[in-house]
């Protein structure tokens, strides 16, 4: 599958306000600065569809992009943003958990993990919450161009073994680099298959 047209629709503060049309939807989420905007831009072949923000975590909205008039990408606000106040974090949690639990059209939530850093507690907790809530998800390892092949593989194995402490099997994973434009074909073909089964 390729994307021809990607258009920003609007941003919504809560799931009850999101577009009611029943078309397949894919959410992208991760810690701030993980490379989410860059990944969405790569998938859509656009330079600044999802603004690669210099101020991570600034926006707390569910950001919708309609793809080829047929399916939605939702750019979710990142977590782990240190400067966020407790009340902002609670608001974030309510919005994100509400969205992930209630959105029927959600086919898969792509969880972005930085391939360069050791497993992070906040990511593992989020994966465990997704499991409990039975949200379908896949992992996207980002920025894989920054490490040598060996270093990359050993770090991915560290993360995988951390995941396997609570999961019986590893989730679907994608190895990506927005700089080198790798992983695009795999993610789009995965989405294409799910769209066909919607
Ligand atoms: N080397 C490398 N850097 C990346 C990649 N993707 C994003 N970055 C950099 O990581 C930083 C955060 O990226 P951004 O897409 O804005 O992350 P977001 O906060 O998750 O939306 C920026 O400086 C990007 O240039 C990648 O694939 N490789
Ligand atoms: Mg961003």
* Domains contained in the chain, CATH given: 6-196 (3.40.50.300)
Residue 57: pLDDT band with limits 50, 70, 90: very low
pLDDT at 6: 95
Indicate which residue's Cα is closest to atom 6 of ligand 1: 35
pTM confidence score: 0.95
Indicate which residue's Cα is closest to atom 8 of ligand 1: 35
Indicate which residue's Cα is closest to atom 2 of ligand 1: 143
pLDDT at 47: 86
Q: Which residues line ligand 1 (CB under 6 A)?
A: 30, 32-38, 52-53, 56, 78, 142-143, 145-146, 177-179
Which residues place a Cβ less than 5 A from the ion ligand 2?
A: 37, 53
Burial 85-110 (b: 16+ CB within 10 A, else e): eeeeeebbeebbeebbeebebbbbbb
CA of 176, nearest ligand number: 1
Residue 168 CA, ligand 2 centroid: distance in Å: 32
Q: How many CA atoms within 13 Å lie on the side-chain side of 153?
A: 3
Residue 150 has pLDDT above 90, yes or no: yes
- Burial class from Cβ neighbours inside 10 Å (0-12, 13-18, 19+) for residue 141 reads buried
Residue 5: pLDDT band with limits 50, 70, 90: very high
Look at the block and give the residue holding tokens 């465990």.
Answer: 128
- Residue among 31, 33, 35, 142 whose CB has most ligand 1 atoms within 8 A, to mutate: 35
Residue 157 CA, ligand 2 centroid: distance in Å: 26
Q: Which candidate, 119, 141, 138, 140, places its Cα nearest to that of 130? A: 138
């Amino acid at each position: 599958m390729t994307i021809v047209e990607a258009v920003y629709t609007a941003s919504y503060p809560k799931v009850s306000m999101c577009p009611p049309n029943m078309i397949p939807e894919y959410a992208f989420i991760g810690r701030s600065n993980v490379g989410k905007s860059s990944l969405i831009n790569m998938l859509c072949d656009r330079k600044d569809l999802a603004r690669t923000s210099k101020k991570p975590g600034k926006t707390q909205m569910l950001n919708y992009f309609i793809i080829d008039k047929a399916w939605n990408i939702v750019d979710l606000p990142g977590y782990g943003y240190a400067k966020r106040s407790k009340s902002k974090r609670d608001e974030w949690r309510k919005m994100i958990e509400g969205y992930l639990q209630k959105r029927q059209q959600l086919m898969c939530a792509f969880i972005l993990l930085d391939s360069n850093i050791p497993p992070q507690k906040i990511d593992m907790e989020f994966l465990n919450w997704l499991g409990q809530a039975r949200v379908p998800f896949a992992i996207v390892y980002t920025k894989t161009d920054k490490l040598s092949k060996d270093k990359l593989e050993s770090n991915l194995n560290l993360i995988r073994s951390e995941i396997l402490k609570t999961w019986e099997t590893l989730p679907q994973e994608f190895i990506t680099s927005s700089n080198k434009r790798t992983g695009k074909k795999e993610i789009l073909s995965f989405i294409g298959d799910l769209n066909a089964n919607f």
